[in-house]
Each structure stands twice: as structure tokens, then as C-alpha cells.
Chain A
């Protein structure tokens, strides 16, 4: 019993470390790599505020995807927005006391979980049904979908079919903050759910999930359209000028 709890405690320390360190490392790498030329996809905003608005529309509404593919947009947005609600719902395990907005969002988190799984199913089916998408899908694309679907369904099953002692789950995670391993309920569904979530955290910085930080660093989206007004020179390009 305590072996399981110890194992999961170690796993989550490791997963959290990999996620945070890996993402930080990537973000630093993106931030440090210069963008030597002005390449916003035009028409582009001519002010910083405009760029913030553009990126916000991409993050919240997936504007470009909407223009590109309606089906992918519907399923993709359902999945991501569902995941967002689910994440908010899960915050109750990680904060004490639970903030009022998080308490109020609890029922919506369940709808989010359902939407998330439906969205994933739609996205996955496209990988089989649309020949172009089938062509570009690699094994890892399927596995990531499988992972997310398994996380979603195991979570929903704990809500609707086999309940677990959520208070002890919360105590387990609260304990990790202070280096204390409290016993985790030994429910197979819960253990599976947590194992998969840890796996997701670990692969995050090494996979296409990097699209999350990537969007914010994409020069075609985050640059201001003002090349005539402001000279833009990368440090390595400036060295060419001194020759």
C-alpha cells in the first residue's frame, strides 16, 4: 500500500519537474533565438496592443483554424475548451481553501469532461476518415490521442461509475507540497488516471504539445507590422554590418 503511494509521489515529483524544467528550457530557447526578419502574416496589426488582441483571438477562439477547417475547429475547440474547464475543476485538489469561482465551476467541469472526450473522438476519427490527415498522422499522433481519451474516460468513469475517495486524493496531493506522502486510494481507475496524467506531463516538453508555448512565439502571429517605421535587426545580423 505505501509502496504505491510512494511510487506515485515519486512519479508526480518527477513529472512535475520534467514538465516545468522542460517547458522552461524550451521557452528560454524560443525567447533567446532571434527572429531576424519581419514576417507577420499580413494583414497584421500595426501596434503591440493589436498583436495582443490577435494572439488572444488565436488562443481563445482558434481563429486561423476556424478559417482553415470547420470540422477540425469544432472538435479541436470542444476538446481544448473542455480540457480548460476540467483543469479548472481539478484545481480543487490542489488549493486549500478552494476559491469561490472554482467551486462555482465544478458542475461545468463535468460537461467539459464530456465535451473533451467527444472532441477527441472527432479529432481521432478525422485521422482515419480524411485521407490527407491519415497520410500525415504518425504513430505518436494516435498515441497522444489515445492517452488523452484514456485520461478523459477514466476521469469520467470515476465521476459516473466507480467513485473514488476524492478527499484522500486531495490529501495526497496536498501532502506532496510539504514532502509528506499521504496514502492514495488504491482504486485501479484512479491509479490509471494518475499514471496517464503523469505520462502526459512527462512527454509534454518533448512532443508536439509544444504547440502551446509555440503559438506565443510564432513570428508570423506575434510580430507588429511596422518594418518601415522601425528598423528591426537581429544581433547576429548586426555583426554583418560591422564588416
Chain B
């Protein structure tokens, strides 16, 4: 079990709503961004003497540019429906982690400076001056929101705290108070092309290694091409897919699916990143600049289609925003969705009967599926609402014999965030990440007890990294989290594959017994 210098929440059989513990997480704040990272993104390096005026100017600007912000700040009636819905509240008990508590950090400033009631009677309506203490609270608690939108599902007006925390981060960036993790990473994308700073040659190397591995494994020459001009499909995937476990097993799976589909595809070293942290910091301009790289790569490589790999917030940006930020996509093949999710791609092939699976290859696992927040509540797959829930499950059921869903109240659009989304996947927020994972891990733990579930599949790089890191704090194994396309990769029968590699169901158990011995 991983060691912690804080109290790891106890997992219970039934979810409990904790009593409020004011200030419980007031000490939590991520490292601040250095001036050089700020400059790359077009933000000032540090707090100026007139920061308050600058911040209020920016707030006024955003209020005029985002209807969501304006309407959400006005509309809350403090009904309390959201108060027990945030995983960070449930895990930390800090009332400023209740969605409304978090929103109120901005709402009280909004009321003070932008509403008549707050100007005249601040005490009465809970309005407050924008002081340094308030700013410190902003920095702390707007970096305790993973922008997962669970609160917005239960709000009678659809108030989405993600919109508020994005705006708050944008305001803070504009007065020189940025977060190191996000801003440094965005800088790497501009400079090198991906979050991890993997240069082109390193990518080429990795992909070549994958080709060898797959060949050794299956005897089939599956290609993992990079910068191949004229390929039909550009695959844009989170850079974690290039080397980290279990991400890379997913990438292997995408390649096998493309191989069976018989389409040419390529990765791009220039747009070697699906993630777009511009969204996390609420910066339209930076989000657009990152998204434009994909457009440029698609034009340069003369591809006809764009497919996204398994990544939650990237899929939100891709599905919901890419057309806005980097469209119009009139030069791509209009017969396919633009962009398309790898799960949609795989599912389509399954529907056409073009993929053959040997489910028994995953018989060492009993699976469940974690709906990643941005896929679940901020995007779609397929042509029907809810496809984002059904398509990944259909893929898992087609590739595995043993699958169970977690408690209904913790899946689909009510899914709990992994605890590491929204730009919080950094070691300086470890306590928050572990505590925020509690509701999800609790539901997983209950299913492990009831159904003997061993693994949880996900389609988000952040979820995968987060669970790999936090599951050990709860006494679980880091490799209990797997990629959906890792399951596809295990089960897919490639054309021309050595027959002995695909044992029929009858021999499987014996095989595993051998391995165990």
C-alpha cells in the first residue's frame, strides 16, 4: 500500500454524505507557474500592484463573452442539490468543495462589483471585496475542481462549476497567478508538440518498438506509422499512449484495429497530442492555438479523416469544440464523423462484422467500466444521445466474457471523476487526488467484493494515470486499471495470425493454470 502523510479515506459499503469540515483542504494548492511558463502563453509573470483592478477588468470581459458565466453567477438559488455531488467534497469534507461553495468564491466577488444588491448591501447578499485572502482561496479551491460537470447534472438550472473554475483560472492567469502543471505543459505542446515533450525521433523509436513487439506476439506485421503523408486517417492520441502502462496497450490495440480495417493511418509528430490543457485553464485563445496544430497536421499530411485515441477531456475538445476552434473541416471526407472517436471506429467495424475476437484472451479479468467525466457529460459517441455510454460497453462485452457495471448512481452521466481531471494530475496535489478518488474507488471496491471484479477499463489517459497512482493508496494494485483498446488488442484475431496464439475457449483455463504454475 502506498504511504501517505495524510488520512486516506476509509471505503464504506454504502456511500455516506459527510458533515461539513470548514477549512479541511485550505492548505491544498498546486505549485505556481514561473514567469517563463506564463510568458509562453501570453500571460504576465507575476502579480502587479493593481492586480485587483486587472482581475475585475478581466472578469467583466469574460462576463461579456461567456453567457454561461453571466447566467450561472446570477441564477443560483442555494437549493443545495449540488452540495453532496462533488467527489472532492465527499472525499475531503471541505464545504468550499461543494459545487455551490466553490462557485460562491467567485459569486461573492461578482456580486460586490457587478450587481446593484452587492454594491449597496454586501453583507445581506454575501458579497465580498476581492482581497488577497479571497484570491488565495480562489487559487486553492479553483484548483480543487476537476471540471467534471457532475454538479451540472443535478442543478435545476444546469449551473456548471467547470465554467466558473475555468473562468477563475483564466482571470488568475491574466494577473500572473498561473498553475505550473498546466501552463508548463501547454508550453511543451507549443515547443515540441506534446504534453510530455517527446520529440519526433523518440516517437519514431517507440513506434518501431511497438511494431516489433506486435510482430513477435502475433506474427503479423502491424504498422504504427508516423508522419506518413497521404495516409487516410490521422490518429491524434494522448502522448501517454506512447509509453506509459496501461496506455500503450491501448495504442497497440488502435493499430491492430486499423490493420484489420485495412485503412492507412498515421500519427503526426507535430500534433502528437490529443490533450488540450487550454481547456483546463479556461483560455479560449490557448485552447484554439493547441487545436490549430491538429488542423495544420491534417492539411500537411493530406489525410481524409481524423480519429482520436482514448482521452476524456481531449474527446470533449475534439467532439464539442474542434469544429469551432479549428474548423471548418471541408477538406476531410464528409462521409465520416469529424472527428471520430477510436471507439466509434472500432464499433463501426464490429457492426460490419469485420473484427473477430477471442474473448477468452481476457478471461484472466473480470471487468467493470469507468465512464470518464468529459466523455460522459460533455460529449457523445455515435448518432444517439448516450452512445458515449453504450459504445465502449459494447466493445468491452464483445472482447470479454466477464463484465459488470458499478452502482447505477456512479456510472453513465452520474459517473464520479477519477479525482485527477481538470489539470490536477500533478504530484503536488496528491492528497486531493487520493481523497477525490474515494467515491469512485468505493464503488469499485464494492463491485470487487460482490462480483469478484478484478479490473476497471477506461478510455481516458488522465483516468488511467490517476488510478495507476491512487489505487495503491487504497490497497489495490496499480495495474487494475486497463485501456478499453487493450482488451481489444488482447482479444482481436488478426488475419493471418498464428493459430496457436488463439486458443479456443476450451484450452484457455488450462493454459492459465500452466502460466500460474
Chain A residues engaging chain B, CB cutoff 8 angstroms: 26, 29-30, 33-39, 41-46, 58, 62, 64-65, 67-69, 72, 76, 123, 126, 130-133, 135-141, 143, 203, 206-208, 210-211, 214-215, 217-221, 225, 227-228, 230-234, 236-237, 240
- Tally of contacts, chain A with chain B, CB under 8 A: 216
Alpha-carbon gap, A65 to B65, bound state (A): 28
- B156, A58: Cβ atoms closer than 8 Å: yes
- A72, B125: Cβ atoms closer than 8 Å: no
Pick from A76, A126, A133, A218 the residue with the most CB of B within 10 Å.
A218
Contact partner of B65 among A30, A36, A141, CB < 8 A? A36
Nearest chain A residue, comparing its CB with the CB of B99 = A136
Chain A residues positioned under 8 Å from B98 (CB to CB): 132, 135-136
Given contacts A36-B284, A214-B74, contact A136 B101 (CB under 8 A): yes
Chain B residues positioned under 8 Å from A225 (CB to CB): 380, 385
Contact partner of B378 among A42, A62, A234, CB < 8 A? A42
Pick from B63, B66, B339 the residue with the most CB of A within 10 Å.
B66
B413 within 8 A of A: yes
Alpha-carbon gap, A211 to B68, bound state (A): 13
B149 within 8 A of A: yes
- B163, A231: Cβ atoms closer than 8 Å: no
Chain B residues positioned under 8 Å from A217 (CB to CB): 67, 71
B152 within 8 A of A: yes
Chain A residues positioned under 8 Å from B227 (CB to CB): none
Question: Apart from A39-B163, A140-B126, what 10 extra A-B contacts exist at CB < 8 Å?
Answer: A35-B66, A37-B320, A43-B380, A69-B79, A138-B124, A141-B77, A214-B72, A219-B67, A219-B68, A227-B324
Chain A residues positioned under 8 Å from B319 (CB to CB): 227-228
Chain B residues positioned under 8 Å from A41 (CB to CB): 149, 152-153, 158, 160, 377-378, 413
- 20 of the cross-chain contacts (CB-CB < 8 Å) are A34-B66, A36-B65, A39-B163, A65-B79, A68-B82, A69-B80, A132-B84, A135-B22, A136-B101, A206-B117, A207-B125, A208-B74, A210-B74, A218-B68, A218-B72, A218-B157, A219-B71, A230-B323, A231-B324, A232-B323
Alpha-carbon gap, A221 to B157, bound state (A): 8
Contact partner of B20 among A29, A68, A132, CB < 8 A? A132
Q: How far is the CB of B377 from chain A (nearest CB, A)?
A: 6
- B75, A211: Cβ atoms closer than 8 Å: yes
Contact partner of A132 among B95, B160, B384, B414, CB < 8 A? B95
B78 within 8 A of A: yes
- A65, B125: Cβ atoms closer than 8 Å: no
- B156, A215: Cβ atoms closer than 8 Å: yes
Alpha-carbon gap, A69 to B152, bound state (A): 13
Chain A residues positioned under 8 Å from B383 (CB to CB): 46
- A43, B386: Cβ atoms closer than 8 Å: yes
Chain B residues positioned under 8 Å from A203 (CB to CB): 117
Chain A residues positioned under 8 Å from B303 (CB to CB): none
Alpha-carbon gap, A58 to B155, bound state (A): 10
Interface size on B, residues (CB 8 A): 74
Chain A residues positioned under 8 Å from B157 (CB to CB): 211, 214-215, 218, 221
Alpha-carbon gap, A131 to B84, bound state (A): 11
B302 within 8 A of A: no
Alpha-carbon gap, A132 to B376, bound state (A): 27
Chain A residues positioned under 8 Å from B79 (CB to CB): 65, 69, 72, 76, 123, 133
Chain A residues positioned under 8 Å from B101 (CB to CB): 135-136
Alpha-carbon gap, A26 to B74, bound state (A): 10
Given contacts A45-B385, A236-B65, contact A72 B321 (CB under 8 A): no
- Hey, what's the 0/1 contact readout for B352-390 against A, CB within 8 Å counting as 1? 000000000000000000000000111110011110110
Alpha-carbon gap, A67 to B63, bound state (A): 29
Pick from B156, B285, B376, B386 the residue with the most CB of A within 10 Å.
B156
B199 within 8 A of A: no
Nearest chain B residue, comparing its CB with the CB of A225 = B380
Nearest chain A residue, comparing its CB with the CB of B85 = A68
9 cross-chain pairs, A with B, having the tightest CB-CB distances, nearest first: A68-B154, A214-B75, A68-B81, A43-B385, A138-B126, A220-B158, A133-B80, A132-B83, A221-B158
Chain B residues positioned under 8 Å from A234 (CB to CB): 65
Which residues B62-106 have CB closer than 8 A to chain A?
A: 63-68, 70-72, 74-85, 95, 98, 100-101, 104
Chain B residues positioned under 8 Å from A126 (CB to CB): 80
Q: How far is the CB of B298 from chain A (nearest CB, A)?
A: 15
Chain A residues positioned under 8 Å from B65 (CB to CB): 33-34, 36, 234, 236
Contact partner of A36 among B22, B66, B327, CB < 8 A? B66
Alpha-carbon gap, A62 to B77, bound state (A): 14
Q: How far is the CB of A66 from chain B (nearest CB, A)?
A: 9
Chain B residues positioned under 8 Å from A231 (CB to CB): 323-324, 327-328
Pick from B76, B81, B104 the residue with the most CB of A within 10 Å.
B81
Q: How far is the CB of B112 from chain A (nearest CB, A)?
A: 13
Contact partner of A30 among B19, B67, B84, B337, CB < 8 A? B67
Alpha-carbon gap, A64 to B63, bound state (A): 25
Q: How far is the CB of B394 from chain A (nearest CB, A)?
A: 16
- Hey, what's the 0/1 contact readout for B9-26 against A, CB within 8 Å counting as 1? 000000001011010000
Alpha-carbon gap, A231 to B338, bound state (A): 11
Pick from B83, B104, B328, B386 the residue with the most CB of A within 10 Å.
B83
- B19, A131: Cβ atoms closer than 8 Å: yes
Chain A residues positioned under 8 Å from B338 (CB to CB): 228
- B20, A208: Cβ atoms closer than 8 Å: no
Contact partner of B83 among A133, A210, A236, A240, CB < 8 A? A133
Chain B residues positioned under 8 Å from A45 (CB to CB): 385
Chain A residues positioned under 8 Å from B85 (CB to CB): 68
- B380, A69: Cβ atoms closer than 8 Å: no
Which residues B298-336 have CB closer than 8 A to chain A?
A: 319-321, 323-324, 327-328
Nearest chain B residue, comparing its CB with the CB of A212 = B75
B252 within 8 A of A: no
